[in-house]
Structure 1
């Protein structure tokens, strides 16, 4: 019987359990998008996860969404990541880098550049900047000739990620960021080969993934998707048809996995599970929603055919989450006020379960 604690073969990796630490922004990077010694400690503390997926890492300067996030587009950033991945490896862990191009969810005060997107349509809501929240600006619509350059940026960052010691990468195709914007029917108003019908709206995602597979191999490449999600104001028509078409195009590429968020009805998600021939990572609850993933949620989705289960907030406050769930131990609550405040408080200050003497 498959449980959360059954091992799993993922590409060239043997995962000791089915638990994935989901990518979560923590904005603790140093100036220049450099990883830090605190980040090395943070990820190493959680190395008992079957797989860690890092916080979102920008593949280019213009791809940076939030201030304080790390990058993988300079030699200095690669060097800064090496102690992080080495610390995870030393603790017996496995780690993928999540590559996140923010697209229109960015600000010139953060990057020094006007954000870009599929169309000149601003995101809904306020974006983080070095001086606080500001309304999302109107992005510059990418010219057709420019689009492949942004697709290739994921591949270039993936090469750097592997050089930095990551076992692979996950393209952030969810939550209203650039790939999600191209999939969208209201953020993407293009009339060229990247817009309009489904076959065109999935093109950017497929090109980004294909370039990454060519760069580092399919077994080192995953993608995260949020079918029907409405983050940052994106909307998608024909959700099942859109994602079924996308998965059909991705299937021949031999990816390590597809990582789905619970942003659509279970019926739709189960149908996508059946449509995807490879490894499926399932995030069973709405990201940043009212509840955290529980053992019951995980078991439910393992029963529905998911191969791996990702946990987000529970891993923040419980670096030993695998051991806590295995032993039926209490799950510590997370302090939301420290999510993005910087520093080590609420970052390195969560401890493993303390047994009574």
Structure 2
């Protein structure tokens, strides 16, 4: 029996599904320590999402009980600790506390490289912290490049940090296929914040509407400070925050996903859309397009900040509506490697291999 602890930030439905799949593996015992934000949680059902898992939930505004956390970690006697990033105090404590120096640790992150002072200096600033890990697990190729820049040897960098429950989304694809025609509605999913470039999305949608007859509507699922940019915009429906279990049905009612971000390391919403058979329009800044979107095959990839390119991509989807179901079906195989069962199998093998390092 291998005992594994994940130290995580954010209680998401997709990771909970993956953790349940891993917890169901007979020779793996799993424990979770998850920190979530209290401010702006918008009624997100954190505890419900993690129900049935051996999980301890804490809010980010609570003082960190280091002695208590140290005791609970020691009581579990982990063979491996998976630590997400370096910014969350709970994660930093787990990685650096001397009581657990002998326990093997994997560094988990999804960030990508950028020419900013903070990221350029990261290998120096984080050197002592990162040397505590035997390897890194990242979301995809762009994060793997950053892991290499941080100093991890290529043999110690693995992809596959994130997975999802593909079955509900496959069912959404099936429901959509039974409709008489492709739903004439674009979908955007994500927090309404500056890096998601809602301003760019709205302007591209305006241009698209001005160029076609009977334009499609645009549904925006999410909350955030830029929600005001959606107000009183013709054709745009802002539906606010949607719970994870609502997303497959939302996907079934739409014809294509549109993401306009100028920084988005590995947006899971693209994986969900591809798993539901939706064609995707996204910017090059969306890191998950590297693994999940092929231009002209199951989506359209636009330059980051290219409002005209986004408008043309929407017009292209509009003009080729009859082709979109087949286009979406092509992407299903690209999402298959991220299914929770595959994710759990990969982690089972990874846990066994890493636990033997140095023995």
Q: TM-score, normalised by structure 1?
A: 0.32
Provide TM-score, normalisation by structure 2: 0.32
Tell me which structure has the larger Cα radius of gyration. 2
Q: Which has the higher helix share?
A: 2
